[in-house]
Structure 1
């Protein structure tokens, strides 16, 4: 019955479209509907998709459409994103051989990155271009991971049975590639942790934790991704252990120091660590650090463990030798000095009682014993820092060397200070990016920080000085300033000329285009684009989807859908207008209020309105025009048609109107001559109708009435009834079927 109804509906639409001589743009494509997979047992359409399990990924939808498709047309089955948006749809199937078949099934597979609750499907055609109705949202998941997860604290793939910690820990999924690309469901002791969807979980409460990959409400259970369970105890027994303060932390080669834990317990186990690495065999309550052992320096800690308590590690103690201090050079490795520009070198150290000596070219500079040094001569400089080390004497370290030079010349390099793009930016700033001191051998030293404010500058455009522009930057804000720029820089007896920077700014003018319409459905349309500017003196081109289509039409007649813009040539740059999108005809642009089929009480009038069109024609069931406005008054049942125009394009919509009976066919009449209920009165939907046959039989099955256009006039006054409460039988039928039947009891 369903297929017969669908076939009848499609046939009616096709006949109507042919009768009205509509163009192919009036094609109607319904939303695709899930159907069963003929390659599997059963006959149930899929309600959601859980693909990927055991490699399965084959599904079917039913596609129905009406209208006329051209020979080269293709139907494209498309999938939205997980939020139902078709801004970048995925093509699931292309059908080229169904342009004369209005009802067919097609198979598809979902992409392997499909994961979400809001996927929709639709079908579009290519010739004519038409978007079909979108389907409802479906849950769709491709389950590329279908094995058990492993969660751990260390991320090492080893599933811990339990974890005991004095503070928060982090559990993480660690046995699948790119775990951060999935969403997860986490549980604590069987309770869902709302909002926790990442592959890591910060655990602050005790409990039994496990996780699943979130494949949605219908697919998660079949994904088989449930993890191991980790029993976590947070805030377990913690004793607050520490290492007793040692008598010394700086050890000479002849020194040693015994480190000891501040509390002990016979049930505890001990392990000493150096730099977070367990020391083999160091499992007592004390550990001896020997200053004579090469590499003894480091951070030492002790860890305790036992049944019933959380494993706990002490804060570290740092042990070092007298030479463990550090020295840092605070100035650049290369410095340029000029006759009028002495430079200062400096060093810093974390030595507790340092002394300083400065050296030039390997020779000590007498009297320089602070951490800074003023230099005016070329050479290689460093500082020597000495720390007194107690019983083992002192230790010295040298800083890194600073090379001080005088330049043979300077190099000034310009650059754009902002994100300048030629013929796009409307303003820019040029600035000194760097200054290099160039030695006689060509070696370059960056001296920008030290000398940028010491030079005298003069900006030039196209080889001529620019009055008043004597800073290390210049701002340009007009296409009238386009040209080639360079900078002359002077310091002492040095003169430098920068690189040349080309500036091509876009004019600040704007150009706007307008359109007489935004919908295109056929070559007979007349959609025209025009400009806000007089193009007679301009060099320009009209573009469609970025491609030139005309360089001579001042007003452009549109001949295809797409994105249009106008591009002018201004001072060697492109001045680009706003964009206007001309869309193909979409039946969803026209809406009816109320929508769907109508049921109206007999003898009443119902008004239906249309929105979205520029002109309308309403046709009744006999194809007679009943209105040309945006609304129509409906009084009779039947199939009504709206032909709505958008500019030169037509969209056809149909709806059914049926009559709600206000009274039923009576089964009792009283022929007592009082003028009330003396005759058998039936609803107007059956009486006075040339296509409705009314037949009445007596108790012996003999016809007493058989007529079309029944006038509600039985029985006649001359009709005789021989006894009380006589029973008659009636049928009300049309050419195809019996519409009503029953009994009539006549009381006299």
Structure 2
């Protein structure tokens, strides 16, 4: 439980003192209890874990409290959620109830945040007046399943599956990684080698052993299976490498344009396939026998790390260590000032560059003409023009490199362009940020130069709404978050003696009101049973429309009654903007909604059993051939042949399925044995469903009803000798019991 703040403590102690002073006891808040979703009809089971998604995020708890004394009139009840460890140090308010101050037993509907993933979440209820907390619930698995598609895994997350096989050699390793899940590093995963779960939980797996590997997102023990994220399978093969490398050439550094020797693999075999790479990118496609590669030094980008991958029948695929080829005398030039600049009247600026050249020399140019004496890395300017510098380096590979051109303008005015920082349309957003997007310097001839990077931080600003200056809004951007801020926005800017105003931006935000609808059932049973769709908002006097499959079908009904399948949404108009509710999808009744993990006709040996599990329903009932109810769970274990009826509920709808069970015709329990020592039929051999079973008791009686043999886990070894049989044909009786039930009985005639 959270510790109250100092102020809250004072309030709590004062309230407690007051209550005690007048001889009353404080309320008792019971912990909330998980219950079935009432929208799915009666007979459902309480939820045991939360597996929410964009298509379903609706759960209920029941809450009880004592009303002696009553809470204060301004009280609200708040359903709070802990963090993933069960701590309420910073609880999340899931929903607030304001109309139950005189109701001591009520249900609370809630949705979980879309960021929730974990196994230790707890719930509690808080009352605000007086401030009290209920006990916390047990810890629950709660997952918002925001990614529910099959995962793709590839070597190094390359996205290329190939034949689905990775070869690793000589005890080395390879990396298998997820490559199609957005923000893959934010999830935890279940990696498997065949059926064995591995300890790694991240989006990649380092493997060194052969096997078949797969992965799925870990949405907890309850939710993972329903998400359907199981990946493709990667087969890892291990073997012995050839030990191929790249022969070290006589030179590994070349001047641009210099003649270079071809690279050559140490194993040259016309039957092997070779693929050449530079910095991990293919530069010579896979080809048989191509064990050499000639790089072109006339290509300015020839320097890099070269490798070759070898593959072939009967060998282990391997990639050589990298061989680095460098460019002699390569250097860079970096501009330290924007490439578009403004110079104001009477102002001077300094241009500068940085170079990695060894002992560089500089020569600046203005409008492509040499500036006499401008031979350092900086240049002071006071005129508009186009400037650049040529940097030269001598040595073994003399070369020269020009900087990018820097355009300096002296404006006669400025153009200021404001824009929305994200995509914007009226009524589509509840908040928006406006910003200075572009500053153009306008020359006397009307030409424009974008100088945003140079001047945006140097100007002074003032935002206006509907022509009136907004107090304190003097930065280059403004954030709008409420419908009261709707209007037309413009920004003024000043620098030196220049003043300019931007274009106008209309802003029409919609209310961030949360409108929720829910249906009395999510399955349309027939054309006569109505489903009621209701909302949490009062529609009296409001402008609204109920939409089905994107089309408005009703603009007057406060609750919508329907018998039709489809996707429904409520659109409520506030301040000229239409606010959409969540979507509710009503599906048509389809018997395939209920599935069994077994065929409808089942055969197993007498004495055996079969467990059948149904899925797709909200409640279940199993009945035997006598129409006697035998189970109300999704699963049932059948041990006796006959016809069984499943009544499955999908919301308020009913689907009935019949399962027929019959015994497999196996060998029977023998009633005659011959103990003459010929090795044939000397022992009483019974089926394995009864023999060798630790919970099965075999008892044998003589013709007087006296017990002569009693054993569990019968080894098919009676009689152990023939000496105890005094007459030619002796009759014995047997019982085979499981627990208190006799599952088989009969006679055994022993012929001596």
| TM-score, scaled relative to structure 1 | 0.42
Structure whose alpha-carbon radius of gyration is higher: 1
| TM-score, scaled relative to structure 2 | 0.42
